[in-house]
Chains A and B, each alone.
Chain A
Amino acid sequence: MEQPFLTPDPDDKDSRPFWEGCARGALLVQTCATCGARRMPPRPMCPNCRSLAHAWHETSGRGTVWSYVVPHPPLLPAYTELARYNVVVVALEEDPQIRFVGNLVASADGPINEIDPQTIRIGEPVAVVFARVGDTTLPRWIRLA
């Protein structure tokens, strides 16, 4: 492919454990080791207690659709081919202020344009799945029956 999908910078020290978690099928959230506050996106310091100590905790992998869009061209070439696809923001079940940007798909390795956007509803329950994109694993979301 001439121009690939965008993938995260593997040299980002703060986020690398998140992406490593995805690669082994776990949706992790950075959590302060001192006060226990979750934070997303990851960063060096806890904004609640200023501790630098943190751990990565596995989440339920479940959430609800907080919002969604349907981009139309002009887009980057790899994405133009898939338009119209959806992009969703998902709020984590156990902590709805922890949110993830992803795609609603019909199956883990399904394309991001398989779901009819007209059927997407804010608030609908979803669960994480993991899709291999290049040398990276991205979290995506499937509907919970």
Chain B
Amino acid sequence: MNNAPLQDKTAIVGIGQTKFGKGLEDSELSLACQAIAAAIDDAGLKPSDVDGLAMFSMENGREVDVARNVGLGDITYFGEIGYGGGAGCGAVGHAAMAVATGQCEVAVAWRARKRADKASRPWAQSRARVPGAWQWSRPAGLLRPVDEIAMLTRRYMHEFGATRDHLANVALAFRKHANRNPDAMMRDKPLTREQYMAARWISEPLCLFDNCLETDGALAVIVTSAERARDLPRTPAYIHAFAQGLPQQHQPMINFFCADPLRGPAWACAQRLWSRSDFKPADIPVAQIYDAFSPLIPLSLEGYGFCARGEGAAFTADGALEWPHGRLPTNTAGGGMSEAYVHGFNLVLEGVRQIRGDSVCQVADATSCLVTSGEGVPTSALVLRR
């Protein structure tokens, strides 16, 4: 008997999403409610069955608004997870913990965002007087998340010999998957290595195609107990393992001040995640790895133990991330870089589809799937299983 009280006690039984796009008319609250309503329908439940809510602290629509719009029941668990893209698996994990400990019976976790609206760029709203940790980076012109991750990327290239070809492996793999996905923003836009190499810089050494998309959209999942899941119509995606990770002396995004900046939150998260999982990295047939920027993939591959330190870039060679023949098909709906960037929450839903057998890039015998949230910030991860 292992020390994993949450293991397989809960499952994701419903998923829902809006369309993805730029300039969608509906408000973030409306999008959230549409995705949640669709997830409740998918689960074969009624809104009044929902009594738990777990959301990103950055979410603009509040619990009370969601509950009043969707017509939810009395809510007896509600909680918020911080740190933006690090929160996705955390929201699902908190929903699972709330169900497993009896705080609620049916919980919703979701993310709605209109990131395609340029007014929603957090960095563009920097006050002239920079408070907190950003005072150490932004006055020098390190303004945006891409600049901050580019700084780590340049160091990673220097220390371990990673190249732009490795980053292109990531971008091209995810684009190929998106080209098969009718819901993906990049469905009809193939990407070649030549296009990647010729793309405009955003923050050297990162180019346009190293960046995630800017997306309006929302997604939601329904979590309930394993017992109840067996009576519902959908194949349950059991929450086998869950962990969060906030490593020692970590500074979100500008993690330049600790002993080993390239050993990011994934490392802390992975240690606890795998200790609670019967599946180990070598057993995982498919992964959904947070990809706000392409270099987060090699860094996460190392952190989650798919390869040794410094080998994440080389891991991407020979189509390793590509469906169907790669050693670890990753972001099989296109991920944040080619399906939609909704703070990584679309990765959770693709993990569920792999377990159900519904993916557009379905991995044969996907008995388990790793899903991770943002690397570079306090993060979280899930192992889902059939």
State the A residues within 8 Å of B (CB): 3-10, 12, 15, 40-41, 47, 66-72, 74-76, 79, 82, 84-85, 87, 89, 97-103, 112, 117, 122, 133, 136, 138, 140
Query: A112 contacts B131, CB within 8 Å?
Result: no
Query: B140 contacts A101, CB within 8 Å?
Result: yes
Query: A100 contacts B143, CB within 8 Å?
Result: no
Query: B154 contacts A122, CB within 8 Å?
Result: yes
Measured between alpha carbons, how far is A9 from B155 in the docked complex, in Å?
29
Contacts of A70 in B (CB 8 A): 201, 203-204
17 A-B contacts, Cβ less than 8 Å apart? A6-B138, A9-B130, A12-B131, A12-B132, A12-B135, A41-B133, A47-B249, A67-B151, A67-B256, A68-B154, A72-B200, A82-B141, A89-B256, A101-B140, A101-B254, A102-B140, A112-B140
Within 8 A of A (CB), among B126-158: 126-133, 135-144, 146-147, 150-152, 154-155, 158
Contacts of A10 in B (CB 8 A): 129
Contacts of A112 in B (CB 8 A): 140-141
Query: B142 contacts A8, CB within 8 Å?
Result: no
The answer to the question of B202 belonging to the interface, with a C-beta cut-off of 8 Å to chain A, is yes
Query: A41 contacts B251, CB within 8 Å?
Result: yes
Within 8 A of A (CB), among B254-306: 254, 256-259
Closest chain-B Cβ to A43's Cβ sits at a distance in Å of 10
Contacts of B146 in A (CB 8 A): 71
Contacts of A72 in B (CB 8 A): 200-204
The answer to the question of B1 belonging to the interface, with a C-beta cut-off of 8 Å to chain A, is no
Measured between alpha carbons, how far is A138 from B138 in the docked complex, in Å?
11
- By beta carbon, the residue of chain A nearest B154 is A67
Contacts of B204 in A (CB 8 A): 69-72, 84, 117
Closest 6 CB pairs of A and B: A8-B135, A70-B204, A67-B155, A69-B150, A9-B131, A101-B137
A-B contact count (CB 8 A): 119
Picked from A6, A12, A100, A117, the residue with its CB within 8 Å of the CB of B128 is: A6
Closest chain-A Cβ to B61's Cβ sits at a distance in Å of 27
The answer to the question of B124 belonging to the interface, with a C-beta cut-off of 8 Å to chain A, is yes
Interface string of B243-254 (1 = CB under 8 A from A): 000000101001
Besides the known contacts A87-B142, A103-B140, 4 further A-B residue pairs in the complex with CB atoms under 8 A apart: A6-B127, A72-B203, A100-B136, A101-B140
Closest chain-B Cβ to A116's Cβ sits at a distance in Å of 12
Measured between alpha carbons, how far is A76 from B152 in the docked complex, in Å?
22
Query: A8 contacts B141, CB within 8 Å?
Result: no
The answer to the question of B319 belonging to the interface, with a C-beta cut-off of 8 Å to chain A, is no
Query: A138 contacts B139, CB within 8 Å?
Result: yes
Closest chain-A Cβ to B140's Cβ sits at a distance in Å of 5
Query: A122 contacts B130, CB within 8 Å?
Result: no
The answer to the question of B205 belonging to the interface, with a C-beta cut-off of 8 Å to chain A, is yes
Picked from B128, B132, B257, the residue with its CB within 8 Å of the CB of A40 is: B257
Picked from B131, B133, B151, B259, the residue with its CB within 8 Å of the CB of A87 is: B151
Interface centre among B130, B139, B200 (most CB of A within 10 A): B139
Interface string of B167-204 (1 = CB under 8 A from A): 00000000000000000000000000000000011111
Q: Provided the pairs A8-B135, A97-B258, A101-B137 are in contact, do residues A71 and B203 lie with their beta carbons within 8 angstroms? A: yes
Measured between alpha carbons, how far is A122 from B143 in the docked complex, in Å?
21
Q: Provided the pairs A41-B257, A67-B151 are in contact, do residues A76 and B143 lie with their beta carbons within 8 angstroms? A: yes
Interface centre among B138, B141, B158, B256 (most CB of A within 10 A): B141
Within 8 A of A (CB), among B103-130: 124, 126-130
Contacts of B129 in A (CB 8 A): 6-10
Contacts of A71 in B (CB 8 A): 141-144, 146-147, 150, 202-204
- By beta carbon, the residue of chain B nearest A136 is B139
Query: A101 contacts B201, CB within 8 Å?
Result: no
Query: A75 contacts B141, CB within 8 Å?
Result: yes
Query: A99 contacts B203, CB within 8 Å?
Result: no
Q: Provided the pairs A40-B257, A100-B136 are in contact, do residues A87 and B130 lie with their beta carbons within 8 angstroms? A: no
Q: Provided the pairs A6-B130, A97-B258 are in contact, do residues A69 and B140 lie with their beta carbons within 8 angstroms? A: no
Contacts of B124 in A (CB 8 A): 74, 76
Contacts of A69 in B (CB 8 A): 142, 147, 150-151, 154, 203-205
Measured between alpha carbons, how far is A4 from B138 in the docked complex, in Å?
12
- By beta carbon, the residue of chain A nearest B205 is A69
Measured between alpha carbons, how far is A3 from B158 in the docked complex, in Å?
35
